[in-house]
Amino acid sequence: MNKETMKNLTETAKKIRIDIIEMLCAAGSGHSGGSLSMADVFTYLYFSKKFKLDPSSMKSADRDRVVLSKGHACPVLYAALSEKGYFDKSHLLTLRKYGSILQGHPDMNKTPGVEITTGSLGQGLSCAVGMALGAKMDGLKSQIFAILGDGECNEGQVWEAAMAAAHYRLGNLTAIVDKNGLQIDGYTKDIMGTEPMADKWASFGWYVIEIDGHDVEQIENAMNKAINNLDKPTCIIANTVKGKGVSFMEDRCEWHGKTPSDEEKEKAVCEIGCD
């Protein structure tokens, strides 16, 4: 990756974080921490130009697909989709409002670019497995990405889907775990420990890569390995910071489902910065 591309992705991630803050403030409700922690991964998926993720391919059978299994973090998805041109950015300020195309969890019937309705935790990976299996059976070159939370990995259905993906040798499927260490009630290690997470995914037959989920170069290297791994599904464990980019939100479980005040919004936007 050249320096100009890296700079562009970094600046886009800032824009997405600012949009997340502004739409959540306009809504007065929603999920801050887990949206901010995934901004760098979503920026890479939609703006690295590596994947068929744009409005022009939205109806193509061989398009790549992103499944946001942790659907409560939809502000990061909506910010990326609007920045990419799936819909006008003015919709962002209608988040969670009656009649809006942007509801509190992704709705495939309302929002352009949303592949599957999610929000019931644990179910998104199963949907992604179905998409990947269908693409494989049809001989399509689609890459399927499922974004999960580390707290979400408490759900048993995640591991049923993980077994199925390995059984069918779905090399076109990549699960990205947002390992920020927190969930709604506190630290994941205290609520239902999932360590050793890498060993768990590997034991289920997945190729596992651990990265810093905020490092663009590490994200790119992991994605390259994932899409070139044809024999088994890939799990990218992205070590992240919940609330990344906003000092008073970082690593604080109370910001899981809390939105900033107007004063906090100004501070957050200033900290994130955007040229």
Give Cα 188 to chain centroid, integer Å: 18
Q: Any idea which residue has 């990405």 for tokens?
A: 145
- CB-neighbour burial class of residue 130 (10 A; exposed 0-12, middle 13-18, buried 19+): middle
CATH placement of domain 3-272: 3.40.50.970
Residues 185-193: contacts with CB under 8 Å, at least 24 apart: 185/253, 186/253, 187/253, 188/150, 188/151, 188/154, 191/151, 191/154, 192/151, 192/154
Instruction: Share the mean pLDDT of the chain.
Output: 96
Q: What is the pLDDT of residues 92-129, one digit of tens each?
A: 999 999 999 999 999 999 999 999 999 999 999 999 99
Identity of the residue numbered 29: S
Two tokens at 157? 């259905």
Please tell me the pTM assigned to this model: 0.97
Q: What is the pLDDT of residues 23-43, one digit of tens each?
A: 999 999 999 999 999 999 999
H/E stretch holding 126 reads: helix 124-137
Q: Any idea which residue has 């309302």 for tokens?
A: 110
User: Which is nearest to 46 in space by CA: 2, 1, 13, 4?
Assistant: 13
Binned at pLDDT 50, 70 and 90, residue 181 comes out as very high
Average pLDDT over residues 167-177: 98
**Angle subtended at Cα 65 by Cα 14 and Cα 71, rounded to the nearest 5 degrees:** 65
Average pLDDT over residues 191-220: 97
Average pLDDT over residues 73-86: 98
Angle between helices 216-228 and 3-27 (to 10 degrees): 100
Q: What is the pLDDT of residues 42-68, one digit of tens each?
A: 999 999 999 999 999 999 999 999 999
Q: How far apart are CA 179 and CA 168, in angstroms?
A: 26
pLDDT of residue 34: 97
Q: What is the DSSP letter of 59?
A: T
My answer on whether omega of the bond before 106 falls inside 30° of 0, hence cis, is: no
**Angle subtended at Cα 34 by Cα 29 and Cα 40, rounded to the nearest 5 degrees:** 125
Average pLDDT over residues 78-87: 98
Binned at pLDDT 50, 70 and 90, residue 274 comes out as low
Q: How far apart are CA 225 and CA 233, in angstroms?
A: 11
